[in-house]
Amino acid sequence: MTTTDPRRARDAVVDPYKGKWSTLSNTTLGMLMASIDASIVLISLPDIFRGIQLNPLLPGNTGYFLWMLMGYMLVTAVLVVSFGRLGDIFGRVRMYNLGFALFTIFSVMLSVTWMHGSAAAVYMIVMRVFQGVGGAFLMANSAAILTDAFPPTQRGLALGTNMVAAIAGSFIGLVLGGLLGPIDWRWVFLISVPVGVLGTVWGIINLKDNGVRRAARIDWIGNSIFALGLIALLVGIVYGIEPYGGHPMGWTSPFVLAALLGGAALLVLFVWVETRVEAPMFNVQLFKIRPFAAGNAASLFASLGRGGLMFILVIWLQGIWLPEHGYSFARTPLWAGIFMLPLTAGFLIAGPVSGYLSDHFGSRPFAVGGMVTAAVSFFLMELLPIDFSYVWFGLILFTNGLAMGLFASPNRAAVMNSLPPEQRGQGAGMGAVSMNSAMVLSIGIFFTLIIVGLAGSLPQALVAGLTAHGVPPAAAHQVANLPPTSSVFGAFLGYNPVVSLLGPSGVLAHLTHAERVYLTGRSFFPRLISAPFKHGLHEAIDFAVACCVLAAVASMMLGKQYINTAGPTALAASEDSLPVAPYAGVVAPVELAGEPASD
């Protein structure tokens, strides 16, 4: 009679979820680094431009400012779907580790910029784009790797932690940029290098690919059409923010209109092509899965409401509130990041908790509740005066952070749980592209609302204020006729707006000392801009409220908890996949993909 050694019996079964916490640590580190680098430049741009000896506010230079700011977001938005698909074909861990390595290499390349002026700006924009390629590999594959690594009953917690790291990193970057930029602008990029080296080596040694890998041809036609369409659309949005001719914005420019319409047409063509090729870059049939479609729609609306408004709040702080409360314009970028920290705190608290709870109670109540709470917090923000009490502002920011964290984790878990195992990479990529594209679009919308509000009444206010303090009428009218974009960008970059507007003309040198001190002080411009800014701010907040309501409606369509169990769990770490024990712990109601989710 033979007996079975219990230890051998245990060893004969491969645990598909072994090492899940190490996987969570590595992917969270990657998402944190990628998101920090997306925003760290935002606050440190003044120090970067001073370091390369370029004034971004001079005519012809604003393009450098916009591309330095938005180029990273644009390239990640364009590439995440394609890179997610590559992960499905060649292995998600392999693509993820490649992203870590690329990100690290181009962080070094950015820090060794040796040129000055426009040549340095062009070099840095190109390096920033390639850094975004690495970021796209990380963003496209981290959620899919986590979904493979964790059982369904723990995915909400894992994806919630990962998502919160991504969103919180965008605010942590604001503070880091403000701290490192004044020391040496090169540290803004060097700070990522040790983290990147650690993450790359750790990932190569430790990460295991538990995903289902399916060999397929690369859809070159679909990839090309999608990239061209999205690039055209996002480039049109970027240049729509800039002045055109005698207009404060560029939305009437033939180039912008052609880019927007052409990009939209190419994306429609992309959808048609993907339904007819043998191995599509993106399987549009996934949108027949109700939680996937509803979750991505909700994420799109939430990003539209959140993305641009964060920039507007920074301008509110830097251009008006902080100077009026004793902070010099040069110090406002750092302190704007610090005063935005309650938002990050709310994310950090609510994200993992709501992800954990959604594993047990489903995603819908938390996603809906988060978006409703976010809409209320935005409405409360509209009730604040321009010169607010920070206690109330901080509480509203904290509430908004809680709301967004409450929404983000369950939403991501619902989307990833709904995907077939072999298509999680491209599904995660589509979620990332909708979020990143919405962020760029949101910035365009919110900047437009603010600048249109300023264009209506700022010129008259400038003429009256400047002439009342000794500026000749001709010079005052010349400054007032400049596009408001310069004033907004100046406040955003921490420049003294009046010095930027009047300095090149030499008018300040001919004023009395008292007039010069008052005009360039911390009160004149903030008080001048407050009323025009308030009008645009309220319209922007109304738009954010509407987006949150639409996101709540879309979240209502998620249905009950749904876990797609199509296909066996398999290991793809080598050519010969090892047999694994199927996971038997699915406790949530299982619905067939493509059928309406039960309520």
The two structure tokens encoding residue 593? 């993909």
96-119: average pLDDT: 92
The last residue of one of the domains, among 529, 559, 591, is: 529
Out of 12-26, 166-180, 446-460, pick the least confident: 12-26
Phi, psi of 244 (to 5 degrees): -140, 120
Instruction: Tell whether 18 is covered by a domain.
Output: no
Nearest to 105 by CA among 83, 131, 140, 133: 131
pLDDT tens for each residue of 324-355: 998 988 888 788 888 988 988 898 888 888 88
Q: Which residues of 199-225 are buried (b: 16+ CB within 10 A; e: fewer)?
A: bbebbeeebbbbbbbeeeeebeebbeb
Residue 488 within any structural domain of the chain: yes
- Is 232 inside any structural domain? yes
Residue type, 352: P
Cβ pair 461, 479 in contact under 8 A: no
- The whole-angstrom separation of Cα 30 and Cα 36 is 10
**∠ CA 470-474-476, rounded to 5°:** 55
DSSP 317: I
Whole-prediction pTM value? 0.80
DSSP code string of 515-534: HHHHHTSSSHHHHHHHHHHH
Q: Which residues contact 506 (CB under 8 A, 6 or more apart)?
A: none
The answer to whether residue 275 is domain-embedded is yes
Copy the structure tokens of residue 54.
Answer: 């370029």
Tokens of 507: 């008018």
> Does 542 score more than 90 pLDDT?
yes
Give how many domains the chain has, as a whole number. 2
Length of the chain (residues): 599
Mean pLDDT of 246-254: 87
Q: Name the band, by pLDDT with cuts 50, 70 and 90, for residue 443.
A: confident
Structure confidence at residue 568 (pLDDT): 36
Q: How far apart are CA 537 and CA 553, in angstroms?
A: 25
Residue range 164-184: mean pLDDT, rounded? 81
**Distance (Å, whole) CA 311 – CA 307:** 7
| Amino acid in position 161 | T
Domain end: 510, 529, 548, which one? 529
Using CA atoms, how far residue 59 sits from 43, 44, 54, 246, in Å, is 22, 21, 12, 14
pLDDT tens digits, one per residue of 363-409: 899 999 999 999 999 999 999 999 999 999 999 999 999 999 899 88
Residue 145 has pLDDT above 90, yes or no: no
Measured CA to CA, the distance from residue 365 to residue 361 in angstroms comes to 8
Cβ(173)–Cβ(38) under 8 Å? yes
What integer pLDDT is reported at residue 215 of this predicted model?
66
Q: How many Cβ atoms sit within 10 Å of the Cβ of residue 295? A: 29
Q: Which residues contact 282 (CB under 8 A, 6 or more apart)?
A: 81, 85, 222, 226, 274, 426, 429, 430
pLDDT tens digits, one per residue of 121-143? 999 999 999 998 998 898 888 88
Tell whether the model's pLDDT for residue 593 goes beyond 70.
no
Q: Look at residue 566 in the predicted model and tell me its pLDDT.
A: 59
Decide which of 263, 280, 297 is a domain's last residue: 280
Instruction: Give the range of the structural domain holding residue 237, as residue numbers without chain letter.
Output: 219-280
What pLDDT was estimated at residue 396? 96
Q: Please tell me the predicted confidence (pLDDT) of residue 212.
A: 63
In a domain, residue 54? The reply is no
Residue 3 above 70 pLDDT? no
Q: What is the mean pLDDT of residues 458-475?
A: 88
CA distances from 496 to 46, 83, 387, 526 (A): 12, 42, 19, 11
Q: What would the mean pLDDT of 465-488 be, rounded to a whole number?
A: 84
Task: Find the DSSP H helices in 362-472.
Answer: 364-382, 390-417, 424-467
Q: What pLDDT is attached to residue 10?
A: 46
Question: What is the per-residue pLDDT for 42?
Answer: 76
Stronger pLDDT, 23 or 14, i.e. the higher one: 23
Q: Residue 14 — pLDDT band, cuts 50, 70, 90?
A: low
Q: What is the pLDDT of residues 182-225, one digit of tens each?
A: 889 999 999 889 888 988 998 888 888 776 666 667 788 888 88
pLDDT mean over 495-511? 80
Q: Assess if residue 446 is contained within a domain.
A: no
Q: Which neighbouring-strand residues pair with 247?
A: 244
Mean pLDDT of 501-518: 83
User: Rounded to whole angstroms, what are the CA distances from 303 to 366, 418, 447, 497?
Assistant: 17, 21, 15, 30
SS (H, E, C) 534-563: HHHHHHHHHHHHHHHHHHHHHHHCCCCCCC
Query: Apex CA 288: angle with CA 570 and CA 410, to 5°?
Result: 70
C-alpha dist (Å) from residue 179 to 81, 112, 245: 34, 20, 38
Q: Per the domain annotation, does 459 fall within a domain? A: yes
* 129 in any annotated domain: no
SS (H, E, C) 239-289: HHHCCECCECCCCCCHHHHHHHHHHHHHHHHHHHHHCCCCCCCCCHHHHHC
Burial class (CB in 10 A: 0-12, 13-18, 19+), 254: exposed
Strands (E), 51-130: none
**Tokens representing residue 547 in the block:** 């987006």
Rounded CA Rg of the chain: 25
Contact 241, 485 (CB under 8 A): yes
Please check the confidence at residue 47 and state whether its pLDDT lies above 90: no
Work out the number of other CB atoms within 10 angstroms of the CB of residue 449: 21
Residue 74 to residues 142, 268, 429, 441, Cα–Cα distance (Å): 19, 19, 14, 10
